[in-house]
Structure 1
């Protein structure tokens, strides 16, 4: 071993003599010194920003109603509506008259920020009827003189949010504020410390890996080490080395290890320096950051294996660098094209939700499309085109009656739940080959539709509205021309964006003289998500829902169960008050707020499962909402969906890592079993067929049969025939990515190693269908490892067979 160790040392000394190496060392030290003064502190989240206004349409409608509705004059809404400057107030009054007015969100946020300093708008009696979170109730109990200025501003913000429920996106109570050398940055993160740490581990570190370690440092490493092999092949050097008792293969591998050792020292300086800065300055003591060291050296080895083969072939450092750079460019282009196909070809077709009726399947896709599986052609027929460029949102389809489904399309709803234009229910009937036919108008902002007895329930930010199924079915146009005529008439009556069309000043004056502002107020209520014609609000009087809101049907206890920001409610039909049709609160329980964590709920029989982010799953008695037992998510980072297995008090759990688990309870013990599926995107249980339908690998389906409460076997599969760009992806892009090392995906390996998670979720707590990024952990390691071994084997064979 001594001769080989001498060769490794010699290679290392040769690298140390490079001026480029010392320039890299100095650059690393200067970078770390420049980064060292960074710091942070936490403070209350007080300031409003324009992107905090989650539902601009709803906010305009609420404020306009607060200005013109006499009943709102002394309420919290009416008082907040009067804090805006005269220009904004004029625009709000135009909105009240049905005009299509675009109000700058920044202007609304600025006016609210000014209101934080002057709380003359506040009246304790007016706010008594609002939904006040526990944090606000606690602050209200403290005298103003005893509050610090940040606490007082925080209280003012919470009061404004209570007056405008459902308008603002959910934010952490405390926000991280970064500083540099004692000077605060002008912007701050509206996230708490836990979210900030996750952001650093899951995004910042992989970006550093991609650019600082994966690009700059690797490129410098190739510049420094490119001369190792050509220098070794010089006649005097090579003859001296081969005169020693060493094999050519081990000689070449020793040179390879020597080059990697140099990069190892460079990476150690940078990564250990970043680790100490993160710990000392940001209180992020995450030893998993040190995994960047072996991954970075491994990444360098991939490129160095190419450089070494080029050096053997042409004996020129310049050509070695040039060939390696061309190889890097090729890998980069293939990786970019592969990522393009992942995001713009595969992901839009990925099944997000599905509805089953016997052998008929209707699915909603990530790309905003709606599809029906055609058994004759073995393909998915597009009912609503899937297009990644559109910002439309599909309300998950549900089975309405036999051979009939219902869904809806929210135009521009991907980033604005209220979207633009009217929201019509889309009824899909077998007799129409499931072509969507518009039916009655849904309440604005409807995010989910449920079938409950002989009614449909529409859930949105404003509450829960119900309409008879028969009314919806009867509202469907039988002919497309009729539907188009109805739409044109509707646009004339309500305007292109679903609001009342602009009327002339004479007509407005006449309306005011006859009915005053009553018609305007009704339109504003519908605009902000209130019940439309045919629908009735079924929430109990005085109950307001606060995001995140989740709803599940519990036929086992003849109730619907609602989760509203830490509050669980069991609602039953109010048989004693048939005139209003409203539900009664049969059970009520308050959970810890937990900064409005992302939540998933489902009911089966007399039990309820509640899963909130960063918490254990609660197994709850659905009758009185008491917790029976708590248990951990089985081998997953977070739950995406919980599907009841009929009324057997068993559940199917879909985790973010794409696996499905069946869980049940025996006393206080939870039994769980994993199903043999991967890359799962959606699950749905069909009670009629007693089957669990599992969507996986973009658009494949498996129907898993159950015998009682026990999973038996797959009774049916759907493997659609690929067409168009999906064929190009399978037969061209996938082979190219398989044959080339996926160096860019090593950043996903780093993200998994540093964060300790196998998947990332994108989207706020309000979103009940977040985007999931499943990290490729082993694939890039195998790809790069196999490529490096092949290149080293070729180099060794070439070196052994050539007479140098």
Structure 2
């Protein structure tokens, strides 16, 4: 053993004698010294930034209405609108007149920031009718002589958010501000300390691993170590070594281990230095950062194995460097092609939501497509084609009647919830061979559809609006008749248009007369009618009710992000989560208040009255976090990010039990399994779990499916539907009759669609090629998982249904690199042992 240790020590000495090593040391010390003055401080989130404006179109519409609508003059909205500079107010008036005016979000945010410095716009009576968050109520109770400047600005921001509900993305109450040598960075983070720590662990450290450790240091390491093997093969050196009683294989492996000395010495200094800076300067004492050291050395070993074999074969350091660089380029190209297929071939086909009607299955995909399973061809048939150059958003499809499913497509909705163009309800039914047919015009910004009794309910950022399902289905025939009527002569159209205009004028005058108002004459009357029309258009622009969809929320309920809604099976009610507030709203007979009415009349009157709040509670914890809801006829299950799962009794919204999520993984979606008292939960790691309450304890059981993309419950058959491995679907029965307190599952139907051409290329060519090629670039995923302790995370803070889930590739790169490393070392040892040097 001593001779081999001497060889390894000699390699260490050779590395320390290298000038390139000391140049690298100096560069590392300078980099750490330049990074050391970084710091941070945490303060209240006060400043508006352009990306805080989640709905710029709605903000313009609201501010324009606040300027032109006389009814808004003394409201919170009107007071805020009048604080804007004259130029922006001029543009807002143009918006009110129907002009397509683009107003920079940064200018709107700057105007709101200026308004926070002077709160002359604030009036307690005007804000009494707004929805004030718990934090705002607490700040309002503080005496003026005890409130700090940052608290004052925070209170002003919350007041502005209360006056403009639904406009701003939910932000943490406190934000991180980075500093350098005591000077604050001009850019302010809109995240709290927990999110900042997650950002460092999941994004910053892997980026450093890719560029500083995975590129710069490894390239330098190859430059230094490429000459180790060619120098060993020199006649004098090799003969001296082989004169000792040592094995050629162990000699070569000792040289290989010694060659890793360069990277090991450099990586230790860099990683330990970064760990100390993160701990002392950013208060992130995460010992898992030190995992970067063995991973970086392992990564270098993969490349050094190629350099060593080239050195044995050609005995040239220059050729070793060149061949290793060519190998690195080849690996990078394969990784790029694999990433291309992940993003543009596999990702767009992944199931996002499911809907059922009898034996028909309709899915929406992450690529913005809508598909139906065709048993005859065993393929997913495109109903709405996925277009790669756009990022459309599909409103999750739902069954609205036997043989009918409803959905919608928001053009460019991933970049803007309001999208571009009109938003029409799409109805798919058996009579039209399941082809999507446009129906009623949906409220702008609709993100979800629900079915309550005989009503179709649309959720957007302003509230809930409903229309009769029969009207939605009848509108398909009406649209077809309208297309046929386009061939009629223009004189008839002009006459109808004139009659319509006359009826509008007459109805307007009649309404004004019935209200006891004096009818203005001439231009004044036209101006009044014009303002009324503008206000109606502005209400529609900001997501207000349309001609067909009317609001149904009780007046005391206002939606504030983050928002989640779920219906209650078997009841005319729903459960709403809005910024920490959980409310149970009923539209049944209790809401109508008349037990003598027939059921149809009860439903109609209750929807018209907006229903009633059965129970209302504020949940503890950070109310800016996204939530996931599911409800049965007796229970509501609530799961919020980084918080326990709560089992809540429906009637009074009292918490019965709470527990950590399954395997401490964030919950993405949940669904009740009928009236069994069980819930299926999809977690961020792609696993499906069944949960139930045993007394005051929540219990979970993990089902055997992996890479799960979506789950749902088919009420007609009582089956849990699991979509997994991109677009495969299983229909499963879940039985809870086991004495051991576990559940049993049985697959009763499967969908294994035939692969498309590009998917076939991915499965049979790209995937094997990626397995045979060491995926060195994916080792950054391994680092991210080791450092953060999480195998998956959510990218962005969008609506929970549309969040992009990143599942880290942990085992695959380690396996592929390990196999490649063993193969290369074996070939090198065999070559070295069989040749006479």
Distance 1:509 1:268 in 2: 81
Distance 1:388 1:285 in 2: 43
Distance 2:382 2:801 in 1: 24
Secondary structure of 1:541's counterpart equals: coil
Counterpart in the other structure of 1:147: 147
1:296 deviates by 0.4
Counterpart in the other structure of 1:680: 708
Counterpart in the other structure of 1:605: 633
Counterpart in the other structure of 1:499: none
| 796 and 511 in structure 1: CA distance in 2 versus 1, 3 angstrom threshold | farther
Counterpart in the other structure of 1:722: 755
May I ask how many residue pairs the two structures share in their alignment?
A: 790
Counterpart in the other structure of 1:168: 168
- Equivalent position to 2:567, from 524, 531, 553: 553
Pair 1:776 & 2:790 matched: no
Counterpart in the other structure of 1:796: 829
Gaps of at least 5 residues in structure 2 are 498-520, 595-604, 738-742
Pair 1:74 & 2:74 matched: yes
Counterpart in the other structure of 2:512: none
Moved more, 337-346 or 741-750: 337-346
Moved more, 240-249 or 568-577: 568-577
Distance 2:736 2:260 in 1: 59
Task: Give CA-to-partner distance per residue, 1:748-804, whole Å, 9 cap, x none.
Answer: 000000000010101216443311000011111011001000000000110111111
Moved more, 623-632 or 145-154: 145-154
1:593 deviates by 5.1
Task: Give CA-to-partner distance per residue, 1:573-618, whole Å, 9 cap, x none.
Answer: 2213827331100101011350411100101230111000110100
Pair 1:648 & 2:665 matched: no
Pair 1:706 & 2:734 matched: yes
Distance 1:371 1:19 in 2: 62
Task: Give CA-to-partner distance per residue, 1:403-422, whole Å, 9 cap, x none.
Answer: 11000011221121122222
| 509 and 49 in structure 1: CA distance in 2 versus 1, 3 angstrom threshold | farther
Counterpart in the other structure of 1:262: 262
| 75 and 485 in structure 1: CA distance in 2 versus 1, 3 angstrom threshold | farther
Contact residue 131 and residue 558 of structure 2 kept, 8 A: yes
Secondary structure of 2:320's counterpart equals: helix
1:279 deviates by 0.3
Counterpart in the other structure of 2:273: 273
1:429 deviates by 1.1
Counterpart in the other structure of 1:498: none
Gaps of at least 5 residues in structure 1 are 494-506
Moved more, 625-634 or 557-566: 557-566
Task: Give CA-to-partner distance per residue, 1:63-120, whole Å, 9 cap, x none.
Answer: 1111111111101001001111112112111221222222121221111111111111
Distance 2:115 2:200 in 1: 34
Contact residue 556 and residue 606 of structure 1 kept, 8 A: no
Secondary structure of 1:400's counterpart equals: strand
Matches within 5 A, 1:429-508: 429-477=429-477, 482=482
| 481 and 263 in structure 1: CA distance in 2 versus 1, 3 angstrom threshold | farther
Distance 2:690 2:634 in 1: 17
Contact residue 4 and residue 250 of structure 1 kept, 8 A: yes
Counterpart in the other structure of 1:177: 177
Pair 1:523 & 2:521 matched: no
| 147 and 294 in structure 1: CA distance in 2 versus 1, 3 angstrom threshold | same
1:152 deviates by 1.3
Moved more, 662-671 or 745-754: 662-671
Matches within 5 A, 1:269-308: 269-308=269-308
| 398 and 40 in structure 1: CA distance in 2 versus 1, 3 angstrom threshold | same
Distance 1:32 1:484 in 2: 73
Contact residue 463 and residue 539 of structure 1 kept, 8 A: yes
Counterpart in the other structure of 1:120: 120
Moved more, 369-378 or 9-18: 9-18
Moved more, 110-119 or 700-709: 700-709
Counterpart in the other structure of 2:644: 616
Counterpart in the other structure of 1:497: none
Distance 2:546 2:735 in 1: 43
Contact residue 565 and residue 593 of structure 1 kept, 8 A: no
Counterpart in the other structure of 1:534: 548
Counterpart in the other structure of 1:586: 614
Moved more, 685-694 or 258-267: 258-267
Distance 1:120 1:592 in 2: 33
1:670 deviates by 2.5
Distance 1:300 1:463 in 2: 56
1:712 deviates by 3.2
1:480 deviates by 6.0
Distance 1:673 1:707 in 2: 12
Secondary structure of 2:625's counterpart equals: coil
Q: CA RMSD in A?
A: 2.1
Counterpart in the other structure of 1:690: 718
1:559 deviates by 2.2
Contact residue 687 and residue 708 of structure 2 kept, 8 A: yes
Counterpart in the other structure of 2:47: 47
| 486 and 645 in structure 1: CA distance in 2 versus 1, 3 angstrom threshold | farther
Pair 1:661 & 2:675 matched: no
Task: Give CA-to-partner distance per residue, 1:447-506, whole Å, 9 cap, x none.
Answer: 10011111111111111111111111111147768459899999x99xxxxxxxxxxxxx
